[in-house]
Amino acid sequence: MSGLVPTPADTLRPSWTPPARGALFVVSGASGTGKTTLLRAALDQLPGLEFSVSVTTRAMRPGEAHGRDYWFISPEEYAGRVARGELLEHAGVYDRAYGTPRAPVEAALAEGRSIVLDIDVQGARQVRARMPEAVSVFILPPSVASMEARLRARGDADEVIRRRMAQCTEQLAGAREYDYLVLNDDLAAAHVQFQAVIVAELLRRERRMAWVDRL
């Protein structure tokens, strides 16, 4: 147990059982908000929570593995999946394309496993249109200036920073569409708040009627 007050992760151990149906979490936030840090901790600490592996048409980079980092597919296969409606969301970034396969997500949810998607506002809109039950969480920075400072602190090039900051306004405007907002002005508090959202959703009545039936 972490300190005198249990954290959301502490509440899931050691007797946690998966829900009747898992939850689909859509997490968004502009670069520099600490979103990746919050996601990694939640995936490491909360049982039954998994990250969705996307498909992409870009080439595999050194150290990457097919099926672990991405599913690397041809542009022709990608186009076919889009045409057949097999992707929950998809987007082109420069000369590359990315998307979230629908079948593995639905299979995981049916087995009581929960899935996290790390996607932008546009992708989140596509997911909600196809799976309205998705739970959306937006990670907010304490200020726009703090976002730029974080990007510079991690050594991003000036051109990358300019591009990221240009995308910031659009992403922040989309925050109004999300179910939950987590303000990352204190990392320890943000971890607790983000994980509390996940735990609360996994304890919803419709996911836990088996407990009542057993009693």
Domain boundaries defined on the chain: 8-52+113-214
- Tens digit of pLDDT per residue, the chain (215 long)? 455 556 777 766 656 788 999 999 999 998 778 899 999 999 999 999 999 999 999 999 999 999 999 999 999 999 999 999 999 999 987 689 999 999 999 999 999 999 999 999 999 999 999 999 999 999 999 888 877 787 788 777 888 888 877 777 788 889 999 999 999 999 999 999 999 999 999 999 999 998 889 88
Give me the pLDDT at residue 142, please.
87
Nearest to 190 by CA among 12, 29, 25, 23: 29
Nearest to 201 by CA among 36, 53, 49: 49
Q: Is 93 left (phi over 0), alpha (psi -120 to 50) or beta?
A: beta
Give me the pLDDT at residue 15, please.
62
Give me the pLDDT at residue 18, please.
87
Nearest to 91 by CA among 55, 117, 63: 55
Structure tokens at 166: 């240009």
Total-model pTM: 0.86
Structure tokens at 87: 């992707």
Give me the pLDDT at residue 151, please.
76
Cross-strand bridge partners of residue 181: 138
Write the class of the CATH domain 8-52+113-214: alpha beta
Q: How far apart, in whole angstroms, are the C-alpha atoms of residue 57 and residue 77?
A: 9
Cβ(138)–Cβ(34) below 8 Å: no
Nearest to 202 by CA among 116, 105, 106, 126: 116
Give me the pLDDT at residue 42, please.
96
Q: 3-state DSSP call for residue 214?
A: helix
Give me the pLDDT at residue 3, please.
52
Nearest to 180 by CA among 168, 197, 195: 197
Give me the pLDDT at residue 54, please.
94
